[in-house]
Amino acid sequence: MSLSQMAFAEIHLGLEEVDGCEVILKHIYHQRVSERKIADREVAKKISREVGGLPILVSQFAGFASHSHCSLMELLNLLQEPSSFQLIWNYDSRDSSTFQYGAPMSKVWGLALQELSPEASQTLRLLTMLSPDGVPEAMLIGDWTEPDLAYLRPERRFGFFGVRQSLSTSHLVEINNSTGILTSLSMHRSLRSYLVEPMSESIGSVLLQQNFDTAAVIVRRSFPPQTVTQTPSNHNWNISKEYLPQILSLQSFYSSWKLRVQPSKTFASLLADAGVDRTQREKACSSPVEKAFQLRKRQLQILTQSGKATQADHLLLANGWNDLGVLLMQNEEFEAAQDRLEKSIVIKEQWITEEEEPANFGESFKNLAYIRIHQNQNDEAVATAKRACTLIEHAYGPDAQATLKGSFVYGCNLLAVGDLEAAKKIHKNTLARRRRLLGEKSFITKDSIYVLGEIYCLSGRMEKAENMFREMLDGAHEAGCGCVKTTKDLLASSADMELGNKPWQGPSIIC
């Protein structure tokens, strides 16, 4: 590879959202920037986000909007309709903002695709069915008997390296090898959308169906199958977690194109096994907690019968009821969870007072407040959360992790009922203390950053929200955060950024 090629291969062209907005507005307006409508500016930002900030795409769509005299909102709606892609890709005009490139986007993509070998083209089509964030290369290589996958057999792997390199050199696929061991291939979502459209227009959508079925076969080989009796097992959980995004991508693709694509038995088995895997993880957590509670309950009965039961024994049972309530709460079985938590509180009230053991009551009230939100008992939820936060802080002090968890939940309750200013105040304070005590990279600190980003988003302060989301994503995988995908979706999707019209649902995990 020449020096110029090496340099070019490392250049990642992606306009910042504000810059992409300016490119669009300057092309379709002739008056001063200050006179442009704020509403148009926001829509232009969404268009730039929709195409991932690629300069040539931003320029292409700006030219289309100017020439067709469609509004920016109409253009955004077109971008979100798959059937409209070809109309925009094929747009060409002497006054197009892409005239300097010498061709409309369909030709730009087409030139790159024409240079590909049949194997590279086939690989690209398969990638369109799978997760654009990354497809493990190890999943593609295998002892395939299908003729169109022969180039992916292990003995021809060296040849596949050439296929991979040609896709990377053409800037159609990015090779991700951050660990130095596991390699994955990712592609831009705009290119993915462009490739799907011509496949859907093939005779009887044969090409679309073929690639969908082949992708399902590839994923099926890597995703661990369930036993015939669906016996629970945790031996393959790590493998299942690694390949689950591919199944979700196939499921999303099928939902979008089910009028053109028929589900196969292989695809159905993938969905079934993924569903069982998710259920098993939940049951695997439930079973030990339930078993421990029954043992604790039985032990108390024996001690009571012999007259040896102490206050501590009864409080242990109360904590067992609380643990069961938390488990049911995480599984969104709120009525059952409420029953367990209230039983816990009743036992505690028989043996201790809030003044004697504030932490014991604070824990139960904190969990009960979370349930009240999901029962739409907003006033009681906020009051209970505040009560819990006060009790826990009284027991442990302002900087204890239990106290910060209590204030986090209190802030989330305020956010859920729409009191954004009060929620922001609580979460900013919690975040500041978590930064100081746990550092920037702790997953607990990241959770506070994420929720504060939500608050800024709901308040219409999109720039502040984006900064918070990007800070959350920085090092999030290493920290083990559970809301990485949600944060990426919020950054990537203009629809998700319009959170002001949606009720906030609260955190999936209380941190």
In a domain, 210, yes or no: yes
CA-to-CA distance for 324 and 125, rounded, in angstroms? 48
- Lowest mean per-residue pLDDT among 26-40, 43-57, 363-377: 26-40
367, 341 Cβ separation under 8 angstroms: yes
Phi, psi of 419 (to 5 degrees): -85, 80
167-171: list long-range contacts, CB under 8 Å, 24+ apart.
167/116, 167/120, 167/123, 167/124, 168/9, 169/5, 169/9, 170/112, 170/115, 170/116, 171/112
In a domain, 185, yes or no: yes
Phi, psi of 174 (to 5 degrees): -110, 135
Element (DSSP H or E) covering residue 503:
none
Q: Which token pair is 367? A: 């969990």
CA-to-CA distance for 261 and 86, rounded, in angstroms? 20
Closest residue by Cα to residue 332 from 506, 496, 493: 506
150 and 271, same structural domain?
yes
Q: Which token pair is 231? A: 């016996």
Which band of pLDDT confidence, cut at 50, 70 and 90, is reported for residue 203? Answer: low
Residue 50 confidence (pLDDT): 63
CA-to-CA distance for 370 and 376, rounded, in angstroms? 10
184 and 62, same structural domain?
no
Closest residue by Cα to residue 182 from 243, 224, 137, 220: 137
282, 331 Cβ separation under 8 angstroms: yes
212 and 139, same structural domain?
yes
User: Which residues, in sequence order, are CB contacts of 423 under 8 Å at separation 6+?
Assistant: 411, 412, 414, 415, 455
221 and 85, same structural domain?
no
Q: What is the pTM for the complete model shown?
A: 0.48
155 and 258, same structural domain?
yes
150 and 68, same structural domain?
no
CA-to-CA distance for 199 and 213, rounded, in angstroms? 13
pLDDT digits (tens, 9 = 90+) for 221-230: 988 887 655 5
Residue 480 confidence (pLDDT): 52
SS3 (DSSP) at 198: helix
In a domain, 380, yes or no: no
CA-to-CA distance for 231 and 41, rounded, in angstroms? 55
Which neighbouring-strand residues pair with 176?
184
pLDDT digits (tens, 9 = 90+) for 408-430: 999 999 999 999 999 999 999 99
Side-chain half-sphere exposure of 146, counting CA atoms within 13 A:
14
In a domain, 409, yes or no: no
Q: How many CB atoms lie within 10 A of CB 266?
A: 17
Phi, psi of 176 (to 5 degrees): -105, 120
Residue 103's Cα: distance from chain center in Å?
A: 36
In a domain, 362, yes or no: no
97 and 130, same structural domain?
no
User: Which of 276, 301, 328 is the last residue in one of the domains?
Assistant: 276
219 and 122, same structural domain?
yes
CA-to-CA distance for 130 and 351, rounded, in angstroms? 57
CA-to-CA distance for 5 and 23, rounded, in angstroms? 27
82, 197 Cβ separation under 8 angstroms: yes
CA-to-CA distance for 24 and 49, rounded, in angstroms? 12
Closest residue by Cα to residue 138 from 178, 185, 179, 174: 185
Amino acid sitting at position 349: E
Q: Which domain holds residue 38?
A: 3-109
CA-to-CA distance for 418 and 330, rounded, in angstroms? 22
Residue 495 confidence (pLDDT): 34
Choose between 340 and 259: higher pLDDT: 340
pLDDT digits (tens, 9 = 90+) for 284-338: 667 677 888 888 899 899 999 999 999 999 998 998 899 889 888 877 788 999 9
Work out how many domains the chain is built from and give that number. 2
Residue 51 confidence (pLDDT): 62
177 and 88, same structural domain?
no
In a domain, 180, yes or no: yes
398, 426 Cβ separation under 8 angstroms: no
pLDDT digits (tens, 9 = 90+) for 451-503: 999 999 999 998 898 888 888 887 765 555 555 455 444 444 433 333 333 33
441, 478 Cβ separation under 8 angstroms: yes
245 and 147, same structural domain?
yes
Residue 72 confidence (pLDDT): 75
CA-to-CA distance for 325 and 342, rounded, in angstroms? 9
Residue 390 confidence (pLDDT): 95
Sequential DSSP letters for 285-297: HHHHHHHHHHHHH
In a domain, 281, yes or no: no
CA-to-CA distance for 466 and 493, rounded, in angstroms? 12
User: Which of 246, 276, 306 is the last residue in one of the domains?
Assistant: 276
In a domain, 95, yes or no: yes
Secondary structure, 3-state, 238-287? HHHHHHHHHHHHHHHHHHHHCCCCCCCHHHHHHHHHHHHHHHHHHHHHHH
CA-to-CA distance for 65 and 47, rounded, in angstroms? 11
410, 389 Cβ separation under 8 angstroms: yes
253 and 219, same structural domain?
yes
95 and 177, same structural domain?
no
Which band of pLDDT confidence, cut at 50, 70 and 90, is reported for residue 1? Answer: very low
User: Which of 276, 296, 330 is the last residue in one of the domains?
Assistant: 276
Where helices occur in 397-502 by DSSP H, the ranges are: 401-416, 420-438, 443-458, 462-473, 476-479, 484-492, 494-497
Residue 208's Cα: distance from chain center in Å?
A: 26
